[in-house]
Amino acid sequence: MDQDSLRAIQRHHDLKAFLRYEHASELPTPNPKIRNLPDGAIQVLVGEFKATVSSMHLVEDKVVRLTDYWRKAHQPERF
């Protein structure tokens, strides 16, 4: 396997670990939903938070950001 593939796998595992993290008293974080739109854009949803990106390489960062928005809205005592 080349270095880019290994880095992509590691980023995927890091993202999954980030999304699984939950404190016992917190609401579970909703799973992100990723949809391809007819115009080629990609829609990313986390709970009620939605964003559109132009390329798959931007999805991971957008999931992290939307998850952070969701946590701040639903678990304000942590922030």
Instruction: List, for residues 54-70, the tens digit of each pLDDT value.
Output: 999 999 999 999 999 99
Please name the residue ranges forming H helices in the chain. Answer: 3-20, 59-74
* pTM beyond 0.85: no
Could you give the CA distance from residue 47 to residue 31 in angstroms, rounded to a whole number?
Answer: 8
- With a cut of 50, which residues of the chain have pLDDT below it? 23-24
Among 67, 73, 55, residue whose Cα is nearest residue 18? 67
pLDDT reported for residue 74? 87
- The reported pLDDT for the residue numbered 26 is 64
What's the CA gap between 42 and 37, in Å, rounded? 6
Q: Which pLDDT value is given to residue 15? A: 76
Domain locations in the chain as residue ranges: 3-78
pLDDT value, residue 21: 60
As a whole number of angstroms, the distance between CA 25 and CA 45 comes to: 23
